[in-house]
Amino acid sequence: MEKRRVIDILVAKTEQQELFYLTGQHDRHELQYIRTQRRFFCPSCQAPLLLKIGVINIPHFAHRTLSGCDHYSEPESSLHLQGKLLLHQFFKQRNFKVNLENYLPEIRQRADLLVDGQYAIEFQCSTISPEDLQQRSQGYRRLDIKDIWIKGLQEPCNEGIGLLRLKSHEIAMQQKRGALPFILLFFPPANRFYYHSNLLFISSNRWVGKTKSISAAMQVFPFAVPKPLSKAEFKTVMEIFKAEKKRYIRNQLYAENRIRNVYCRLCYELRMDMANVPEFIGIPVRGAQCFKEPVVLWQLHAVAAQEKKIPLRDLIRSGKLTLSAGTQEGQAAAVLEDYLSCFLSFGGSALTDNSLLDIVYHNYCKTL
């Protein structure tokens, strides 16, 4: 059975074909009177709409029956509705021309907000597949519209440098302005933007990054861009990577079949102590998300290839490293080269924490 789609919206057409916006200009009592005097229709499919004016939820329109709208829609939560209204207010206060829930018939999509006809703002509160996200982004780009994805937050984030567990669709929301991609988030109850920036991949959904917030009153548009990490901040990153490395190794040592365990086999080939691999294994490298393998594992593969004088592209083509979706061979080879240039800087000598930090931070700055 097809799942019923509940489509709640903030813009409707009247019988006179005029747009009616629920952006806070009418209180609930006024809306209750207006509801008795007017009929409303969906701007996209022209179907009749109900004007819902509850006590708890934000007033909104909803289709009377199962919708056949051809635009993408998600079930609208109160958080989503509130966020769209606050973002609409944000742009209006800065004198931008902003259309709420602007339907684009050429691509059969409706942007949460269309700013100056150039920016499609998507405020995403529910899970969306990376494929659907990419499809919508490509639709906007066909019209020369820049897509900006903002993740909705139900609660505020902890700020500072820390371990982040990010889902695939959140990674797909990254904005790539400048050298540092970032994820932009918005917490409607506090009218506050958050940033996840300086993201460094560890394994699976585990990343290390910097989280910082800014109030909507202090935010600008185009949205502010995060700064690179300071050396002191990067030291915290290194400490988290070191702790995650220990966790990963501990899990590998409990593997049932060490002969077939890739980590154990690589340590044997490289004559490394499985319980205490060198400091230069498991370090943060920008772009590491191009590999599906954990940082410790792909770096062991890189060092083994270096010792055996195997060209990096041959290592990639061997199948020993699995590339993430959309990663090109050249991208993966560049990340391996960055890591090995860092590895060669160690020179095989014993490293202090400070000298390791110096080398890895220099590599991070070099790749910005």
DSSP per-residue letters across 61-119 = EEESSS----S---PPPHHHHHHHHHHHHHHHHTT--EEEEEEETTTTEEEEEEETTTE
Give per-residue pLDDT as tens, 159-197.
999 999 999 999 999 998 878 999 999 999 999 999 999
Asked whether 11 and 19 are in contact (CB, 8 A), the reply is: yes
Distance CA 116, CA 24 (A): 21
Residue 92 confidence (pLDDT) above 50: yes
Asked whether 64 and 47 are in contact (CB, 8 A), the reply is: yes
For residue 21, what are the CA distances in angstroms to 40, 51, 98? 11, 11, 12
Element (H, E) at 219: none
pLDDT, position 46:
80
**Least confident among 6-15, 87-96, 101-110, 336-345:** 6-15
122 or 59, greater pLDDT: 122
Give this prediction's pTM. 0.84
> Any idea which residue has 């980590």 for tokens?
263
Give per-residue pLDDT as tens, 62-88.
887 655 564 444 445 778 888 998 999
**Least confident among 132-141, 254-263, 316-325:** 254-263
- Tell me what the pLDDT averaged over the chain comes to: 90
Give first-to-last CA distance, the chain, whole Å: 50
